[in-house]
Chains A and B, each alone.
Chain A
Amino acid sequence: MSLWEKLEAIDRRVLYALLWIVVLPVLYYPINLPTIISDLTREYYNQIEAIPSGSVVVLAYDLGPAGWPELGGQCYATMQHLFTMINEKGIKVVMLCYWATGAALIPNTFEGVYGPMDQMGAEYGVDWVNLGYIAGGEVGMSNFAMDTWGAKPTDYEGTLVSTIPLMQNVRTIQDVYMLISIESGTPGFEEYNRQWWTRKNTLKILIGALGVSIPGYEPFRPQRIQSYLPGGKGASEYISLVGKKVPAILAGQMGKKAVGVNDALSTSHILVIIFVAIGNIGYFLRPRRK
């Protein structure tokens, strides 16, 4: 086998081992490769900054544990950003999820897994509420849009929503200004689009997306989706923006993790490009059999 044929047919285990080598160390010891904040991330940030005073925002955790490594940073940073907006503009936040496995991830965001989250004096039940898991998937979304109390009579702790001050003014989708859905699959935006946006076509929608799901959101931007965070890269960029308002987020574990994720994305992408180039060089230069 000539050298070029060998380059064309490198054992995939070599590639896997090299991938480990370029990704694992930088996750623990970031090398602080530079990054540029994308327009999408900036727009996501600006949309949240522009929420009018007193508006109701629904933050949906439509993800499972599989998506948490990529989307956990987005969840954390979005919730932190919303707490700053509660503090500055008195917005109201309703957290919920349509994935059964997502409900248990909401406490992860608060219980110091990624470092300090400053609730900035927000009061549970008045400024924000966690409704937890709502059963039914797309049908559950339709129910919530028509009658929030009927769709989810209690919050995550079992308190009747009819006794929660925040929920007095959130009865249907018409009372919601913005939906932020951090999602890793179905049910997700397509279902929200069919059940929520068609009932209120002025609803603002922001998506926290997996990298592989981005192509599915682009056709709906900017009319239905105002912006989305593109995967782990978007999470890192967004954390650096939110860190300007809440510096502790950058100093904490989430800030360090974000830098590590950025570096790992950079090194892994470059490695794959190098191997693709090597494969093509081997393909073009290998001796052709006549």
Chain B
Amino acid sequence: MVEGRVAQFVVLVVLCIAVIYFVERARRGKVPKIRKLPGLDAIDEAVGRATEMGRPVIASHGIAGFEDMFAVQTAAGMSVLGYVARLCAKYDTELLVPCRYSILVPVAQEIVQQAYIAEGKPEAYKPDNIMFLSDEQFAYSIGYMGLMTRQKAAANIMIGAYWAESLQLAETGFMAGAIQVSGTANTAQIPFFVVCTDYCLIGEEIFAAGAYLSKDPVLTGSLVGQDVGRIIAEILIVLGTILTTAGVKWLTEILSK
């Protein structure tokens, strides 16, 4: 084996087994329970507010695609989009979904359409409401900002991978008078969302949100598999801190192999 990657490989194998085991367990009906996150109630509140005001909801899944490291955030955003679409279908609230990549438009359209069909309102589904803006970051941002301002959105739900446009979108949403629920795992953007939006899901809470709202056994089982990884990380951190402080190096040496 390549030097320096043995420990990495062992951890990867353990994680793979954990994820596959819990996913299969969930698919067979034993879906684990996930605690409710405070920000998720806010999604219901946001859609409810938009319904009362007769103004649209804007929901986006981030500006990443499915082909890179940020795909998991996009997947979480799509799961939340499915939930929001069901609420909008239930309450006859207009839903607008701006997309950065044209390749994601059919994915988002299918998710929203399925939500409307599930609520028994297939005729209310409008494919033109899921729109491709631009694949340039700031062109997408300005298009989104324009959409929020022109449509006077009452709710703005942004869960996914965001970069520099996060503050622009959050602040514009505030100016438009929208209630905002946000979440991202991009560390540099989390402070902007925390400061400028009403509710913010931080880091891996967006993965939990996606699993919790969609009730998808695959996502839920996968989340529990990730929790196994977190437990391993926590044990290693605590052990490593104690041992390194005491001058004992065997754990560091094992992990370096």
Interface residue ranges, A against B (CB under 8 Å):
66, 137-138, 185-186, 190, 201, 212-213, 215-216
Q: A66-B164, A185-B163, A186-B163 are in contact. Are A137 and B188 (CB under 8 A)?
A: no
**A-B contacts, 21 listed (Cβ < 8 Å):** A66-B137, A66-B138, A66-B164, A137-B68, A138-B68, A138-B69, A185-B163, A185-B164, A186-B68, A186-B70, A186-B163, A190-B69, A201-B4, A212-B164, A212-B188, A213-B188, A215-B187, A215-B188, A215-B191, A216-B187, A216-B188
Which bucket holds chain B's interface residue count? 10 to 19
CB-based nearest A residue for B167: A212
Q: Interface 1/0s, chain B 143-175, versus A by CB < 8 A?
A: 000000000000000000001100000000000
A212 to B138, CA, bound (A): 17
B-chain residues with CB within 8 Å of residue A137 when the two chains form the complex: 68
B188 CB to nearest chain A CB (Å): 5
A212 to B164, CA, bound (A): 9
Shortest C-beta distance, B9 to chain A (Å), equals 13
Q: Which of A201, A212, A213 has the most CB of B within 10 A?
A: A212
- A53, B141: Cα distance in complex, Å: 46
Contacts of B191 in A (CB 8 A): 215
Bound together, the chains give a CA A138 to CA B71 distance in angstroms of 14
- With a cutoff of 8 Å between Cβ atoms, the chain B residues found around residue A138 in the complex are 68-69
B interface residues (Cβ-Cβ under 8 A, vs A)? 4, 68-70, 137-138, 163-164, 187-188, 191
Bound together, the chains give a CA A138 to CA B163 distance in angstroms of 17
Chain B residues with Cβ below 8 Å from A185 are 163-164
Which 10 A-B residue pairings sit nearest by Cβ, starting from the closest? A216-B187, A213-B188, A216-B188, A212-B188, A185-B163, A215-B187, A215-B188, A66-B138, A201-B4, A185-B164
In the assembled complex, the Cα of A137 lies from the Cα of B65 at a distance in Å of 14
Docked CA distance A201–B3 (Å): 11
* Shortest distance between the CB of A88 and any CB in chain B (Å): 34
Whole-angstrom CA separation of A186 from B138 in the bound complex: 14
Q: A138 to B69, alpha carbons, bound, how many Å?
A: 10
Shortest distance from the beta carbon of B127 to any chain A beta carbon, whole Å? 30
Question: Chain A residues with Cβ under 8 A from B188's Cβ?
Answer: 212-213, 215-216
Question: What separation, in Å, do the CA atoms of A212 and B168 have in the docked complex?
Answer: 14
* A79 CB to nearest chain B CB (Å): 25
Cβ contacts under 8 Å, B70 to chain A: 186
Docked complex Cα distance between A212 and B163 (Å)? 10
Given contacts A66-B138, A201-B4, A212-B164, 15 further A-B contacts (CB under 8 A): A66-B137, A66-B164, A137-B68, A138-B69, A185-B164, A186-B68, A186-B70, A186-B163, A212-B188, A213-B188, A215-B187, A215-B188, A215-B191, A216-B187, A216-B188
Residues of the B chain whose Cβ atoms lie less than 8 Å from the Cβ of A186: 68, 70, 163
State the Cβ distance, B168 to closest chain A Cβ, in Å.
12
Chain B neighbourhood of A216, CB < 8 A: 187-188
Q: Which residues of A contact B137 (CB under 8 A)?
A: 66
With both chains docked as a complex, state the minimum distance between the C-beta of B161 and any C-beta of chain A, in angstroms: 9
**Bound form: Cα–Cα A58–B164 in Å:** 26
Which chain B residue lies CB-closest to A137?
B68
Q: Cβ of B164: which chain A residues have Cβ within 8 Å of it?
A: 66, 185, 212
| In the complex, chain A residues whose CB is within 8 Å of the CB of B187 | 215-216
Residues of B within 8 A of A212 (CB): 164, 188
Bound Cα distance from A213 to B137, whole angstroms: 17
Residue of chain A at shortest CB distance from B70: A186
- Which residues of chain B come closer than 8 Å to A66, judged between CB atoms? 137-138, 164
B211 to chain A, nearest CB (A): 25
Report the bound CA distance from A137 to B67 in whole Å: 11
On chain B, the residues within 8 Å of A201 by CB distance are 4
* Shortest distance between the CB of B248 and any CB in chain A (Å): 19
CA distance A215 to B203 in the complex (A): 14
A138 to B67, CA, bound (A): 11
Q: How many angstroms between the C-alpha atoms of A185 and B163 in the bound complex?
A: 8
Residues in A whose Cβ lies below 8 Å from that of B138 = 66
**Chain B min CB distance to A245 (Å):** 33
CA distance A212 to B187 in the complex (A): 10
Query: In the complex, how many angstroms separate the beta carbon of B19 from the nearest chain A beta carbon?
Result: 20
Q: How far is the CB of B230 from chain A (nearest CB, A)?
A: 17
In the complex the two chains form, what is the Cα distance from A125 to B70 in whole Å?
38
Complex CA gap A185/B166 in Å reads 13
Cβ-closest chain A residue relative to B138: A66
Which residue of chain B lies nearest to A213 when distances are taken between CB atoms in the complex?
B188
Bound: A185/B162 CA distance, A: 11
Find chain B residues with CB under 8 A from A213 CB.
188
Determine how close the nearest CB of chain A comes to the CB of B181; give it in whole angstroms: 22
Bound-state CA distance A212–B193 (Å) is 13
Residues of A within 8 A of B68 (CB): 137-138, 186
Complex alpha-carbon distance, A125 and B176, angstroms? 55
> Shortest Cβ distance from A4 into chain B, in angstroms?
22
